[in-house]
């Protein structure tokens, strides 16, 4: 359903799209392409990675949340295809841009992927076409970066072509909320653009939520993830306070969560991961610095969350010290490389920082993750990253480690077995007691070191 006021009968939206182009077939673009094809669109997916294009053409998915069967059935039905040829976008009535927006080395937003995608779309722009940017970015990007490139091809926005921003809301591994049933926010450069965007997305998703402008839609997405980043930063700081006071932070959180109003539960962890929460707030911070405005909550939360991997390594050091061992020369087994449970995504994962810090302290490092076969770990002092392969979680692997660190609590791991065989155990996810393992000896009152 749409929340659009149907009494508004001003300029009609663009003609009903029958061919949708999706630029970027990653975690955002491929699920969108699948839902659009299921909804009756013919979909052309554009990507710069030949392996991605070849895989989809062969009916294979490279995204964990998208089954091969879905891709294969839609390709076989002729409603989904993938291509490297950007000229194919001229066949589309609507185009959705779903490319990455990482941070540069200096912490500034890197919109080069958006610029490249926009240039490709502009070259293929046709009259009446709807363009929607879904890539998360700072308020003003759609109007300041995308619009001028499209206008340079001629025509007037809202009349000759239509432009909107609609932020992606993908949560990898979420079995309840997915592309179809997650409400879709959309804002256009003009009211006619917004109506065109609604006409597209109300056929693909269950609920469309119009806002007054592209800037409002852009800020909506950043608010969502800044809210989470700041609250995670708060609970991580409280966790460090509880540690200093010798109080179990998880016990405190569970007690606070019994309050039926005025409290929302967040839990501490080893740091932030994924493409959104660790990065999106910094788009806004960068934008506001250019306006001489300090984003104090964002900056402080970022500082706290970035410090958590070092806090975890300090806990490993404490656990080893109790056995009169140093980190240098000890074997440390890290459980989990993905940034959250039951997915294969390692983008910005704190596990990579923890492995790097342990190696820098002289530890012999290994990791196990049932979803991630290998990772690249950056060593201190620069140079090329080191490739690590996931080890099998055998009894010998657990017992031979001087310390085991639970960083990502994948549901398939038997934590009772891990706890019984580990010499020392640091649990950053409260996984051991969450799974009803009997209390262990040698831990600390704060609950981070559960065995030493």
Q: What pLDDT digit, counting tens, does each position of 260-299 carry? A: 999 999 999 999 988 788 888 888 998 999 899 999 999 9
Counting other chains too, the contacts that 249-256 makes at CB distance below 8 Å and 24 or more residues apart are 249/446, 249/447, 250/430, 250/433, 250/447, 251/447
Query: Any idea where the domains of the chain sit in the sequence?
Result: 19-212, 228-451
pLDDT at 393: 97
User: What does the buried/exposed string (b/e) look like for 71-98 if buried means 16 or more CB atoms within 10 Å of the residue's CB?
Assistant: bbbbbeeebbbbbeebebbeebbbbbbb
Q: Do the first three CATH levels of 19-212 and 228-451 match, i.e. the same topology? A: yes
Query: What's the confidence (pLDDT) of residue 4?
Result: 34
Residue 381's pLDDT is 67
pLDDT for 90 equals 95
- What's the pLDDT score for residue 216? 98
Q: 171: which 2 tokens?
A: 């949560």
Return the CATH number of 228-451, one of 3.40.30.10, 3.10.180.10, 3.40.50.720, 3.40.50.620: 3.40.50.720
Q: Note the pLDDT tens digit of each residue in 388-405.
A: 999 999 999 999 999 999
- Rounded to the nearest 10 degrees, the angle between the axes of helix 350-360 and helix 296-321 is 50
Question: Which residues carry out catalysis?
Answer: 276
> Thinking of the domain 19-212, which architecture would CATH place it in?
3-Layer(aba) Sandwich (3.40)
Count CB neighbours of 102 within 10 A: 13
Spans of the chain, pLDDT less than 70: 1-17, 381-382, 434-442
Q: How many Å apart are CA 215 and CA 409, to the nearest integer?
A: 37
pLDDT value, residue 8: 39
pLDDT computed for residue 445 by the predictor: 77
pTM, whole model, 2 decimals? 0.89
What is residue 447's predicted lDDT score, i.e. its pLDDT?
82
């Amino acid at each position: 359903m749409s929340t659009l006021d149907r009494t508004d009968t001003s300029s009609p939206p663009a003609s009903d799209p029958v061919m949708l182009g999706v630029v970027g077939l990653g975690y955002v673009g491929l699920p969108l392409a699948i839902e659009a094809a299921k909804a009756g669109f013919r979909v052309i997916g554009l990507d710069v990675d030949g392996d991605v294009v070849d895989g989809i053409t062969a009916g294979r998915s490279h995204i964990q949340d998208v089954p091969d069967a879905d891709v294969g059935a839609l390709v076989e039905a002729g409603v989904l295809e993938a291509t490297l040829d950007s000229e194919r976008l001229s066949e589309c009535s609507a185009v959705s841009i779903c490319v990455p927006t990482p941070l540069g080395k200096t912490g500034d937003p890197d919109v080069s992927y958006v610029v490249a995608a926009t240039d490709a779309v502009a070259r293929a722009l046709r009259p009446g076409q709807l363009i929607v940017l879904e890539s998360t970015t700072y308020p003003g990007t759609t109007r300041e970066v995308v619009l001028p490139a499209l206008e340079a091809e001629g025509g007037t926005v809202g009349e000759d072509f239509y432009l909107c921003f609609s932020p992606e809301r993908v949560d990898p591994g979420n079995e309840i909320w997915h592309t179809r049933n997650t409400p879709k926010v959309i804002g256009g450069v003009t009211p006619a653009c917004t109506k065109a965007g609604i006409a597209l997305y109300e056929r693909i998703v269950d609920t469309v939520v119009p806002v007054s402008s592209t800037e409002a839609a852009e800020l909506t997405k950043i608010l969502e993830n800044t809210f989470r980043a700041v609250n995670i930063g708060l609970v991580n700081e409280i966790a460090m306070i509880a540690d200093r006071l010798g109080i179990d932070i998880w016990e405190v959180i569970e007690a606070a969560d019994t309050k039926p109003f005025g409290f929302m539960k967040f839990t501490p962890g080893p740091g932030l991961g994924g493409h959104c929460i660790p990065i999106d707030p910094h788009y806004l911070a960068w934008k506001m610095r250019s306006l001489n405005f300090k984003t104090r909550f964002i900056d402080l939360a970022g500082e706290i969350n970035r410090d958590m991997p070092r806090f975890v390594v300090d806990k490993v050091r404490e656990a080893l010290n109790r056995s009169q061992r140093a980190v240098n020369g000890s074997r440390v087994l890290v459980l989990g490389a993905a940034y959250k449970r039951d997915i294969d995504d390692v983008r910005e994962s704190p596990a990579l920082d923890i492995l790097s810090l342990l190696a820098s302290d002289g530890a012999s490092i290994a990791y196990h993750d049932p979803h991630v076969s290998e990772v690249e770990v950056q060593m201190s002092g620069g140079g090329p990253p080191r490739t690590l392969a996931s080890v099998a979680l055998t009894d010998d692997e657990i017992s031979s480690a001087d310390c085991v660190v639970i960083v990502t609590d994948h549901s398939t791991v038997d934590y009772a077995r891990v706890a019984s065989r580990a010499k020392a155990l640091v649990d950053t996810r409260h996984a051991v007691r969450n799974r009803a393992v009997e209390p262990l000896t040698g831990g600390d009152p704060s609950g981070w070191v559960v065995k030493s």
